[in-house]
Amino acid sequence: MSKTQRIEEKVTIHYEKGLHVRVAATIVQKADRLQNEYNVLYSVHREGLHNVPLTSILLVTALKVKKGEEIYLVTEGEQAEEASKEMKQFLEGDFNISPSELNQVDNLLQDNVITAENVYSNIESGLLVVDNQHTIIIYNTEAEHLFGIPAREVLGRKVTEVFPDSRLPEVVDTKEPILGYTREIGKSTIVVNTTPIIENDEIKGAISTFEDVSRLVQISWEFEEVKELKERYLQILEAVQDGICVFDREGTVTYINGSYNEITGENISEGDNIHEISPNGSRMRVLEKGQKIMGEISQKKNGKSVVANIVPIIVNQQITGGISVVKNLSEIEELIDRISHLSAKTEYLEEELHRRKKLNPAFNRIVGVSNKLYDAMKLAAKTADNNFNVLIRGESGTGKELIAEAIHYSSERATQPFIRVNCAAIPENLLESEMFGHVKGAYTGAIKTKIGKFELADKGTIFLDEIGELDKSMQAKMLRVIQKKEFQRVGDDRTITVDARIIAATNRNLEELVENGEFREDLYYRLNVIPIWLPPLRERREDIPVLSEYFLNKIAEELGCEPKKLSGEAMDALIHYSWPGNIRELENVMERINILADGREVQKEDLPHYISENYHTAVNDEVPSEAVTENGLYDAGLSLGKTSAEEIVTGNDEIMPWEYYEREIIRKALKKYGSYNAAGKALGLTHKTVAAKARKYHIEE
């Protein structure tokens, strides 16, 4: 397979007259023949100039090569070596040609003359050329139109015979150009430029070009008024708050006001091209399709939202450019956000006010005298001095929320929001929206932008109660907030940063959930930076009298009456009860006896039966050993000893609460079968149900 060659050789021109027009024609004719013969391409260049095809008379002539000067011949093709050698020899020769070849050269010259005449005729300016004898040799169509004289009456005559005031003879004689002078021809004002034609330091003639500026002259009187009007419009455009950008058909910006860059965050100047700025943007679509775009909302790199109206400029059914007008939506959105934020805060504060009215301020203080409670409080007080995450552990009703409040209101964030979220109380499909908020239209029913709990808690504290109830997908989103302190509203791609201290709480065994794959291990370690364990009420029995008196006083204050007192037997019964519902259950019991007890002193008989009966068994020392828990506390359920659930129901006229029987049945099943799975099969329940009931009643497997 032949290989393409490229040969470049230096050629010295020896011909007396150099490469004038006829010689150039001869070279072109020769090059055309040899290119076909050798299947190559010829080009030439001089030092510092680009290659030109050797088959173009005009370009070869334009090189203006004289005798003794050098040019470079470039030959490309499969037979470049032979073709280069033959063409070089021809270029360095005397260009003697045969009559037949001369005829071909003349035809070639004639073709190029016709081409030049076509060029002259189609020039919009008038063209008049004379030789060095002042004879008119070129007179184009536009010149005929301007002067009203046909070419046949002009060509070949002295220029002064046709145009007595022409300055062409002056330019020929002086070899100096005369530029920008005017002539009145009929009703037209003509601007004339006349320049000499010099070749090899010899004057060859002169050329005049004519431009009709009559229309410009006619409107020149309006120029100052137009200029003033333009300045007024520009001042108006600069004064408006909307951004305005005007661009032409090629996409070049011809005008842009100061507001445009300020709103969009771009840095566009007049002369910039939108092809380069945003090749796939709305402005380009308008230029390409000629259809206006109205009300298009977009998010800019500076974070601002803008709405754009872009319309094409159409003149004579042709698109000549476009105008883009942008408005700033971010300020409106920020205002809406602020209103939503304030609205959400108002709603929250109203709820808090309601809570404060319902609860005496003293309720915020944690009541108790036990060492275990004191230890938990001391640790909580230490955490108030820092911003580490806190995980409060304990059974339901032990006061985890009160501890969280105490930490917040004794910290540097005390003047900032304290936001409560019960993870178990919010439906799973709404939890993300509640936590992080949503934008208008994010889903069906999202009729307005909603601020999430995390955003409300900015600079303050968020209390995540029942954190163990979160599903896995929500756990992942929560982990991101904890790690990066940022999140996105539902339906929005804008990232919001938040500075909120996180205090979580749970009554679940998170370690077991992690082991079973129900809770993310990384989230567990993120939350469990400072763990605080709150003991159940049965493990701090010395607090029961204090709490009972506190609740009775609180209830009396709310009712506006004297507080009731507990008798010794009633207090002993309360102390010996296991309190599976902890402090919350104790408060409910105090509310109940405050209503049902007739006298000011509450007797044992005024207590619920499941409490008073347990106390009766305990004081008669009939409590079996298994009724005492490993913590040394009395368990009402275990006090039944070997009595079956059936015996309890049929052998006793007293009807106990349902939980009383349920607890005993679960305890006996687990004791007999040893596992949640086996106990569940015996009871006709799932092992998850048995496990949940065991946790509820604090029964060990």
Full 3-state SS string of 238-283 = HHCCCEEEEEECCCEEEEECHHHHHHHCCCCCCCCEHHHHCCCCHH
Low-confidence spans in the chain with pLDDT less than 50: 1, 221, 355-363, 617-652
Relative to beta strand 40-45, strand 243-248 is unpaired
Q: Report yes or no: 466 and 424 within 8 Å, Cβ to Cβ.
A: yes
Count of Cβ atoms closer than 10 Å to residue 336 Cβ: 14
pLDDT of residue 389: 92
Residue type (1 letter), 249 = R
- Look at residues 78, 86, 107 and name the one whose alpha carbon lies nearest to residue 33: 86
**Domains contained in the chain, CATH given:** 5-111 (3.30.1340.10), 123-217 (3.30.450.20), 240-328 (3.30.450.20), 333-533 (3.40.50.300), 642-701 (1.10.10.60)
Q: Report yes or no: 372 and 535 within 8 Å, Cβ to Cβ.
A: yes
User: Please, how many CA atoms are within 13 Å of residue 451, restricted to the half-sphere of its CB?
Assistant: 22
pLDDT of residue 376: 84
The 3-state DSSP class for residue 125 equals coil
pLDDT of residue 464: 94
Q: Report yes or no: 401 and 465 within 8 Å, Cβ to Cβ.
A: yes
Q: Report yes or no: 75 and 84 within 8 Å, Cβ to Cβ.
A: yes
pLDDT of residue 336: 67
pLDDT of residue 361: 42
- Look at residues 616, 618, 614, 595 and name the one whose alpha carbon lies nearest to residue 606: 595
pLDDT of residue 110: 54
pLDDT of residue 307: 85
Supply φ then ψ for residue 578, to 5 degrees: -80, -20
> How far is CA 694 from its chain centroid?
50
pTM score: 0.43
Residue type (1 letter), 664 = E
Q: Report yes or no: 673 and 663 within 8 Å, Cβ to Cβ.
A: no
Residue type (1 letter), 673 = Y
Instruction: Please give the Cα distance from 508 to 189 (Å, whole number).
Output: 98
- Look at residues 404, 365, 431, 422 and name the one whose alpha carbon lies nearest to residue 500: 404
Output the CA–CA distances (angstroms, integers) from residue 683 to 338, 585, 637, 668, in the order listed: 56, 28, 18, 11
- Look at residues 442, 435, 380 and name the one whose alpha carbon lies nearest to residue 406: 380
Q: Report yes or no: 246 and 326 within 8 Å, Cβ to Cβ.
A: no
User: Phi-psi bin for 665: left (phi > 0), alpha (psi -120 to 50), beta?
Assistant: alpha
Say which residues have a Cβ less than 8 Å from residue 256's Cβ, sequence separation at least 6. Answer: 243, 244, 245, 246, 268, 269, 270
Cα dihedral 24, 26, 32, 38 sign: negative
Helix H or strand E encompassing 340: helix 330-358
DSSP per-residue codes, 441-475:
TSSTT--S-EE-HHHHTTTSEEEEETGGG--HHHH
Instruction: Please give the Cα distance from 539 to 542 (Å, whole number).
Output: 9
Instruction: Please give the Cα distance from 483 to 468 (Å, whole number).
Output: 18
pLDDT of residue 618: 46
